[in-house]
Amino acid sequence: MKAWKLGLFLLVAMPLCGATSLQPDYMRAMQDEIKRSMAKLRRPGVEKPYFMAYKLEQITQEEAAASFGALYPAQARDSQLNAYVWVDIGSAQKDSMGFAHAAYYPPYAYRPRGAKNMPKSYNGVRQALWQLTDAAYTFAAETYQQKQAYERAKQTPQKDKLPDVLAAKQATYTEEIKPFAAYDWPYLQNWVKVQSALGKELPFVEQFLVQVSPVQKDTYYVNSRGGFYQKSVRGVQVQWQAQMRSKAGFKRKYNRRVWLADFTPQEAALAAETTQRFLTDLQAYYASVKGENYVGPVLLTPGAAGPFMQEELVKNFQNLKGLLFEGDEPDTTLGKFSVEGQRILAPGITVWDEPYVRARGTTPLGGFMPVDDEGVAAQPLKLVEKGRTVQLPRTTRPLADKKRSNGHACATALSMPRECLTNVRVEPENPLTWDTLVSRLLARCQELGLPYGYILHAWPGPDTDNQPVWERVYMDGRREFVHGLKIDGLTTRSLRDIIAAGDEPAVSHLDQPGETGLPAQNVSAPALLLEEMELVTLDNKPDQKPFVKKP
């Protein structure tokens, strides 16, 4: 913690000239335009700007891909500069933010003004920011009037109303933005060509795509209060996609993805081992049997535990300050864990959010966030201890307890700043080995009179491209993969059903809507044994066979 405090001091003390010397065109254009707009942006009868922020994201990536040994057309290096602008008018007591128009679908009603693929020059950036600022000011003026009308209609006594914004000390952070690494393009192409050709050994596999994508995301942020940051995250995504037809005649798609810090020969060798494991797993999936309804304990591998924790825990620690919606529409994005001391998790597990962490082992993390999108220094949080919430992510928009921001405001392409988490770490007090967890699973099944239990290897995705991978484990040790099952009735109650956890965590990178580059949210979690999960069978039938055999 002492090291973190020292880092925070350097973070806040760093002068603005450090930023402009590293990226003069972008940072200078943002500073110049925000000063001009704050001084001159006026409309008769409309409040002047109270707060403004600009955010630029430059995403650079390459992609080499092949299927069954055949290369896809070369994907040239792509570098895109995107901009996001938000304007707040009024005052700290009454401002224009926190309100969304009912004319927009609720999840997307609170987005900043944005532009894609801007010119990469001082004049190009200023021109784009000028246009976006004008549109954002108009939108803020309309929203301000509607928000005030909404609150008058609610007749909330002034003495009971919290200020819309609480003051927070501004922070700064800069780091050198290095050029995108020069990867050996022929080497990447040859690697994916060789790896994807291995899929031809499995006759039931109809497509086997292997893809390597180096990515770098550089972010620049400036606000009207003096907060700013300049940061860069990078990594290499390796992805495998297989489309196959199981022995029972069902078409299935399976994906696997890893993020690497680089693509050195050593890391390429590790990725090649993943290819072999994936092909071995596909053979097991091919022989899978139809599942039956089941209610009982389930063991989640680390790869499934991360998405489970993101779905039931992380999402409910975000967006804690509810938006006001015109017409009293419900805020469908609202998190449930908004009170400190709330019992939400099984005891024996501590959960942290660590925005200053850049990597876990050799795995890069995209959630690195030294300063948040309101210009406040981001603090590490102990979210859960002994089953209860300890700290909440906070922004300058206060919750009912009136506590001040701890630097966890994130703005995305689809949302202006709201409470968020970044690099989440799940840490059990008494971790168990994998073999011990399997034994505990079977012991609990025996107590319940069940002939078998389930291991979930891959969490179900939002569409059919992400198949859940179920493995049935019998009392005599026999195992078989199962298809045609889905989870039913999963709620936050399942977090209190965790009865044991493993000793080998894995990082799950979790894509967010509208997000590009290395995902800015991830969960490091060990295997988790749940007391109970309900699985129901899918009423699906085998797919029609192709009229002509695979070439």
Average pLDDT for consecutive 10-residue bins of the chain (551 residues)? 36 38 77 96 89 96 95 82 96 92 65 92 95 95 90 71 93 93 91 97 95 95 97 96 90 92 94 97 93 96 96 96 82 92 95 96 94 98 97 96 96 94 97 98 97 95 69 95 92 95 96 84 97 91 73 72
Co-location of 219 and 71 in the same domain? yes
The tokens describing 542, both together, are 């085998």
Last residue of a domain, one of 237, 260, 291: 237
Query: Residue 105: what pLDDT?
Result: 55
- The amino acid occupying position 460 is P
Co-location of 92 and 166 in the same domain? yes
DSSP string, 399-463: -TT-PPP-S-EEEETTEEEEE---EEEEEESS-B-HHHHHHHHHHHHHHTT-SEEEEEEE---SS
Co-location of 170 and 121 in the same domain? yes
Task: Report d(CA 540, CA 188) in Å as an integer.
Answer: 40
CATH code assigned at 104: 3.30.2290
Give me the phi and psi of 158, to 5 degrees please.
Answer: -60, -35
Q: Does 514 map to a domain?
A: yes
Location of structure tokens 């005891």: 347
Number of neighbours of residue 435 by Cβ within 10 angstroms: 8
Co-location of 31 and 159 in the same domain? yes
Co-location of 233 and 149 in the same domain? yes
Q: Are 355 and 378 in contact (CB under 8 A)?
A: yes
Q: Does 510 map to a domain?
A: yes
Q: Does 10 map to a domain?
A: no
Q: Are 387 and 346 in contact (CB under 8 A)?
A: yes
Q: Does 391 map to a domain?
A: no
Q: Does 494 map to a domain?
A: yes
Co-location of 146 and 43 in the same domain? yes
Co-location of 184 and 284 in the same domain? no
Query: Residue 102: what pLDDT?
Result: 63
Per-residue three-class SS string for 143-181: HHHHHHHHHHHHCCCHHHCCCCCCCCCCCEEECCCCCCC
Last residue of a domain, one of 237, 255, 288: 237
How many domains are contained in the chain?
2
Query: Residue 19: what pLDDT?
Result: 39
Query: Residue 157: what pLDDT?
Result: 63
Give every CB contact of residue 322 below 8 A, 6+ residues apart in sequence: 331, 334
Query: Residue 21: what pLDDT?
Result: 39
Task: Report d(CA 405, CA 186) in Å as an integer.
Answer: 48
Q: Does 436 map to a domain?
A: yes
Last residue of a domain, one of 237, 256, 289: 237
Co-location of 284 and 233 in the same domain? no
Co-location of 149 and 207 in the same domain? yes
Co-location of 149 and 202 in the same domain? yes
Output the pTM of the full model.
0.92
Q: Does 544 map to a domain?
A: no
Burial, 545: exposed, middle or buried (Cβ in 10 Å; 0-12, 13-18, 19+)? exposed
- The amino acid occupying position 131 is Q
Give every CB contact of residue 367 below 8 A, 6+ residues apart in sequence: 355, 357, 421, 422, 423, 519, 520, 521, 522
Co-location of 223 and 285 in the same domain? no
Co-location of 174 and 120 in the same domain? yes
Q: Does 438 map to a domain?
A: yes
Q: Are 471 and 436 in contact (CB under 8 A)?
A: no
Q: Is 375 left (phi over 0), alpha (psi -120 to 50) or beta?
A: left
DSSP character at residue 187: H
Q: Which residues form the domain of 480?
A: 278-308+431-537
